[in-house]
Amino acid sequence: MGAGDDRVGHGRARHPLKTHMEYVREDLAQIKEGQRDMTRTLAETSKALGELSSKVEKLPTKDDLWSWKLQWLAIALGTVAFIVGGIVGGLDWIKTH
């Protein structure tokens, strides 16, 4: 058991460790690839949420809808009053002539 035997013994001990480290490196490479995929997915999701948020901001609020309802109601009542007034005025004009 001289110096040469020591080297052989260390070589045998290093071989399984070296194989194990290769597996660890492969696992780390897979983890890094998974992280890259997740980063891409998160970036795409963030972009989609940003687009959705900008669309939601453009939607009318409940106050807007009530305001529009009241505006259309006022327009409808004004139109009815104008038409009824025109009919009544026209009939009165026909009656006097």
Read out DSSP for 3-48?
HHHHHHHHHHHHHHHHHHHHHHHHHHHHHHHHHHHHHHHHHHHHHH
Full-model pTM: 0.45
Number of domains in the chain: 2
Has residue 8 got a pLDDT over 70? no
Does 53 lie in the same domain as 38?
A: yes
Domain that holds residue 85: 60-97
Does 44 lie in the same domain as 68?
A: no
CA distance 74 to 80: 10
pLDDT in tens, 16-25: 778 888 899 9
CA distance 22 to 33: 17
